[in-house]
Amino acid sequence: MNARPDPHGKAPILGIQLYMVAITLVVFANTVGKIAMDTLPVWQVILAQMTGLFLAAFVAGRTLRIDRLIATRRPGLQMLRTTCQFGGVVCFYLGLRELPLSDIIGIVLLLPLTITALAALFLGEPVGWRRWTACLIGLCGAFLIVKPGWPGADPAALWPLGTVVLFSIYTVLTRRLTTEDPAPNLMLWAALATVLVLGLASPLYWVPPGFMEWLALAGVAGFSGVANASRIKALVLAPASLLAPFGYTQIATATLLGFIVFGDLPELLSWIGIAIIVLSGLYVWHRERMREKRA
């Protein structure tokens, strides 16, 4: 019988390392995608990313048989989940096309907070008043980045809020389905709607890429696929509660790449909003760790 990994041993450390690789590659994929959208339609870039995730499912499942990977006990929930993924990705890239990379990543950092709220509402997970308060404070931080109704506010900042809502529903559905379907099947279903819809519609928007554009599309697909596989492996090696705080380091990577590649830096209110979201998320993580220790 194999012993369970020591929580202070090498397996969780490797899990953290893989998780850091995953979130870094996600920022790389977003950066390359933003560059590619200068000359290619947003739909073409989205299709490249989701094709990478789609193909990663076959690698993770170690099979080329799509009938095995598409098998599910809950087709209705999987269809709803893949639709949320489709909508969330579209909202993200529509925002990415217009916003600084650091701003959109800062808004998307709301995800752990909104997932906490939805898990309480729909999965019955216990959430006390402290975590509810942290979720509301984090939302206020997002408003400092989005600045709804303020003079000079960019309406494109509403797109990542759509991403947060749809990805939160997607994540809650994923939690519900992990007990019934294996990870490779979940990976394939996640990309299924996007690949089918945008693949079939490609004659309407496709622009023949040049050599550098093909490299950019391959980079988006490759970075996204490897990031997804690394994240899944990280969650096998280490608990999600241990990995969660490391996700906030992507704002540093996004800010650095955004400045180097695009010359963008967040303004003061955006920095304040990002700080509020990160601190609120870390507090929710702290309360979750305390609850696990008492259980």
pLDDT score for 150: 62
Query: How far, in Å, CA of 185 to CA of 190, rounded?
Result: 9
The segment with the largest mean pLDDT, out of 15-19, 154-158, 195-199, 279-283, is 195-199
pLDDT score for 204: 96
Average pLDDT over residues 274-279: 87
Query: How far, in Å, CA of 82 to CA of 164, rounded?
Result: 15
- Asked if residue 24 lies in contact with residue 230, where contact means CB atoms within 8 angstroms, the answer is no
Average pLDDT over residues 20-43: 94
Query: How far, in Å, CA of 223 to CA of 100, rounded?
Result: 20
pLDDT score for 148: 61
Reported as a single tens digit per residue, the pLDDT across 170-222 is 888 887 888 888 888 988 998 999 999 999 999 999 999 999 999 999 999 99
The count of other CB atoms within 10 Å of the CB of residue 208 is 7
For the chain, the average pLDDT equals 85
